[in-house]
A and B are shown apart, each in its own frame.
Chain A
Amino acid sequence: MNAYLADVAVLARKDLRLELRARSTVPAMLLFVVAALVVFHFALPSDSSELAANGMLWVAIVFTALLGLTRAFVAEREQRLIDGLLLAPCDRSAIWLAKTLSVLGFLVIAEVIALPAFALFFSGIDGATVAGVALADLGICAVGTVLAAMAVAGRARELLLPLLFLPLAIPIVVGGVGASVAGEPARYLGFLALYDAVFAIISWASFEYVVTE
């Protein structure tokens, strides 16, 4: 178990260090999410409710996450770096967990900017929304990492990931928007937790098969 977690830590640190040096993904995500929010301001007619804006926050988050996920396995595929990881004695699922954690890290950094920006442009953020964002992030990254690995295996990789991801993101959006706008957010937060648990388990278990050639 310790060895497993050590492997995850080594791999996650590697991804974070690479991003720190290359600085390609996180700045793009930051810029994208703010730009998206600005676009949404122009997309919402003046008599739209505050709640509509809340919904838009979730659209912004999902598409920003997609941006990060698209980059997740690109280097591994292009330079065949995944081979190096597959040759090593570590569990394949550790690769999944490490990648999920690093994408999660990037997404959280983007949201640290996005949420205040949203509060600035639209309306305030309450605790339930933040909790919703946190739970949703887990689900997005867990599922997204597996799908990113799938998409990158074939042709037309950047095109494929959104198609694979969006249907699976629908329940997350429901949970998140519900937590933001509904009277009793607890139900929606519970649902997000359920989604996370279920999909994290099958993602963890199936990753090995996704990277076998």
Chain B
Amino acid sequence: MSTWLRNNQVPALAGLAAALLCAAIALIFFYAPVDEDGLNQKIFYFHVPIAFTAYACFGWGAWKGLLVLWKGRPGADLESYVAIHQGVIFGAMTLITGSLWAKFRWGVWWTWSERQLVLFLVLFLFYSAYFMLRYSLEPGPQRENLCAVYALFGVVLIPISLLAIRLAENYIHPVAFNKHGPQMATSQFATFMVALAAMVALAGALYRVELLGKRLDARLRELRELLA
């Protein structure tokens, strides 16, 4: 069994992600108690795990970036890039689900009073610029280094931006929405954890699939060059 697992890591991970997602969706819609906000609150079970997963991707990307600079590991640059790519995808999903949540709860598509949402907007801008940086450079040692440094700057920016957004609330008078964080009963907590696991597994699976694809691409190019 374990050899099969080792040889088929990606399909196994994808299978796990699919299973967890199904479980999460089932729990979200049939098990978790309906809050006073109604079905709209269900979005919370998607939004927060997705946000969490995006952070995890950016963190992973920064870690791989550190490996590029510090240890000079050859595969680390690609892994960093793919992780950040996943992070941006999940970040975009965070913004979309957050916007939907805001629409359902308060009737507006955007609000500056949701700290997480504002943070993700800033991060989205930052990491989108990552791609602009990456594609303005030719592949090579310099591109790897620059992208790694930028990824590290990003991970430092996350807490600093959060602090900044909090501070900004003091002089930017937010529209006073009735905010209340979900008080989590056990059933809600369990559902949340399953959803979180599902999102992380999904990100992991997508990460591995994309890596596989890019590595195959690189290998193909290498072989073509050798033949030429």
Contact = CB atoms under 8 A, between A and B. Distances in A.
Whether A and B touch (Cβ < 8 Å) is answered with yes
Interface of A: 51, 143, 146, 150-151, 153-157, 160, 163-164, 166-168, 170-171, 174-175, 177-178, 181-182, 187-188, 191, 194-195, 198-199, 202, 206, 209-210, 212-213
Interface string B109-153: 000000000000011011011001100111011100110111011
A210 B168 contact: no
Given A150-B146, A199-B153, A202-B156, 11 more contacts: A150-B150, A153-B146, A154-B137, A154-B138, A163-B128, A164-B129, A182-B170, A191-B163, A199-B156, A210-B146, A210-B149
B216 interface: no
Contact of B122 (A163, A167, A198, A210): A167
A178 B171 contact: yes
A163 B167 contact: no
Given A177-B171, A178-B167, A209-B148, A154 B136 contact: yes
A187 B34 CA distance: 41
Contacts of B170: 178, 182
Contacts of B157: 167-168, 171
* 8 closest Cβ pairs, A-B complex: A154-B136, A171-B164, A167-B126, A209-B145, A174-B164, A154-B137, A163-B129, A206-B149
B40 interface: no
Given A170-B122, A174-B165, A150 B69 contact: no
Contacts of A175: 164, 167
Given A178-B167, A188-B167, A191-B163, A167 B149 contact: no
A166 B160 contact: no
A129 to B, nearest CB: 13
Interface of B is mostly: helix
Contact of B167 (A150, A191, A198): A191
B41 interface: no
B161 interface: yes
Contacts of A209: 69, 145-146, 148-149
B142 A206 contact: no
Interface of B: 69, 122-123, 125-126, 128-129, 132-133, 136-138, 140-142, 145-146, 148-150, 152-153, 156-157, 160-161, 163-165, 167-168, 170-171
5 contacts: A150-B149, A150-B150, A198-B160, A209-B146, A212-B145
Nearest to B168: A174
Contacts of A210: 145-146, 149
A155 B122 CA distance: 24
B115 to A, nearest CB: 13
Contacts of B145: 209-210, 212
Contacts of B160: 171, 194-195, 198
Contacts of A156: 136
Question: Counting chain B CB atoms within 10 Å of each CB, which of A143, A150, A166 scores highest?
Answer: A150
Contacts of B132: 160, 163-164
A209 B125 CA distance: 23
Contacts of B164: 170-171, 174-175, 191
Nearest to B124: A167
Contacts of B137: 153-155
A146 B149 contact: yes
Nearest to B140: A213
Contacts of A174: 164-165, 167-168
Given A175-B167, A202-B153, A206-B149, A153 B129 contact: no
A213 B171 contact: no
Question: Counting chain B CB atoms within 10 Å of each CB, which of A154, A164, A178, A195 scores highest?
Answer: A154
Contacts of B171: 51, 177-178, 181-182
Contacts of B153: 143, 146, 168, 199, 202, 206
Contacts of A206: 69, 149, 152-153
A17 B168 CA distance: 40
